[in-house]
Amino acid sequence: MINTKGYAAFSPTAPLQSYSFERRDPKADDVVIEIAYAGICHSDIHTVRGEWGPAAYPCVPGHEIVGKVVKVGKKVKKFKVGDLAGVGCFVDSCGKCQSCKTHEEQLCTTHCSFTYNSTEQDGKTPTQGGYSQHIVVKGKYALKLKKGMPLDRTAPLLCAGITTYSPLKRFGVKKGHKVGVVGLGGLGHMAVKLAKSMGAEVTVFSTSPSKEQDAKKLGAKYFILTKDPKNFETVAGNFDLIINTVSVNHDFSPFLASLKTGGTMCLVGVAPKPNEVGAIELIFGRKNLSGSLIGGIKETQEMLDYCARKKVYSDIELIDASQINEAYERTIKSDVKYRFVIDAKTF
């Protein structure tokens, strides 16, 4: 077994604290990664606080993981010792269902082993995430990172990056398209950067007037303050695609009205309660309401290579492990530009 240190939640209400635990001995198809940085995703907070259902404690969160390969199983051809590698939101899947066969492992219909608060394919062994010094993972589920990528700013690409890249690619965003981004947080700021890099004209929708300047620095051409319903009148029927990153309940109607005929609003944020949608808002204008969940290994690798080529990385605030609980509270208040990343040397 590999002894490692990290931070874990032990209950829905207690602060995360230092935790020593064991990783499994690597198998022939595994790699061992010495973690350099781990991003903090809002879903980490939802999970450890039991807001998405009961968590399995102790729970080591973290699915935005980058580091260096320090051991390689004899069957692994993808990596060698010293390579840079990343781990995203899942670490295994059945490999046999239709989703897995078509490189959509995140949608595995048998059992997707998520990086934490899940189980390995045996259905018993708990998975623990990236708020730690090391991780052991099958080589085929780790991602290759190119030399020269800033690792701290790359870590959030493993969730925030692929979550927004996937729908932008699926809906064919290119030069001349008009893309709206609802919310300017960890996901939203990546959606702006990526859509801009693809040639789209980007508009940010936000409840915070203070975010207008940042939105335009990130690449948005326009900014709509959503607190005033009249502001939507200027963009009625305007967008090919809207990426909605907001994870609180809100009215979809004005955003659907902002779509062109046949346009799509794609949800990547998860609100705690179901939203109501009027059928007439979709029927008139043949509008589409869609959802998207990260991406498979093939698409995630494509995203990482794309970001390395285009030099698109996350805007981050680097913290020590001792600051995790403070970072959680600040994340809830949207007091971060735009992703907290933990320096794993401090575990």
Q: Where are the domains of the chain?
A: 2-158+314-346, 161-291
Longest dimension (CA), the chain: 63
- Whether the predicted pLDDT of 273 surpasses 90: no
More confident residue, 276 or 93: 93
C-beta of residue 295 within 8 angstroms of C-beta of residue 167: no
Q: Quote the pLDDT of residue 305.
A: 98
Report whether pLDDT(247) > 90.
no
Average pLDDT over residues 37-63: 94
Architecture label for domain 161-291? 3-Layer(aba) Sandwich (3.40)
pLDDT at 272 over 80: no
Residue 152 contacts residue 318 (beta carbons within 8 Å): yes
Residues 200-224: tens digit of each pLDDT = 999 999 999 999 999 999 999 999 9
The per-residue pLDDT for range 295-341, each reduced to its tens digit, is: 999 999 999 999 999 999 999 999 999 999 999 999 998 899 999 99
Q: In this prediction, what percent of the chain has a pLDDT beyond 70?
A: 100
Among candidate residues 183, 176, 199, 188, the one with its CA nearest the CA of residue 260: 176
Residue 278, pLDDT > 90, answer no
The residues near 134 (Cβ < 8 Å, ≥ 6 apart) are 2, 4, 23, 32, 33, 34, 35, 70
Residue range 100-145, pLDDT digits in tens:
999 999 999 999 999 999 999 999 999 999 999 999 999 999 999 9
178/174 Cα distance (integer angstroms): 9
Residue 333 structure tokens = 């208040």
Model confidence band, residue 27 (pLDDT cutoffs 50, 70, 90): very high
pLDDT at 47: 94
Is residue 296 a contact partner of residue 105, using CB atoms and an 8 Å limit?
yes
**Residue 334: per-residue pLDDT:** 87
Percent of the chain predicted with pLDDT > 90: 91
CB under 8 Å to 237, separation ≥6 — which residues?
257, 258, 259, 260, 261, 285
Nearest to 275 by CA among 238, 239, 246: 246
Provide the CATH topology of domain 2-158+314-346.
Quinone Oxidoreductase; Chain A, domain 1 (3.90.180)
Arithmetic mean of pLDDT over the chain: 95
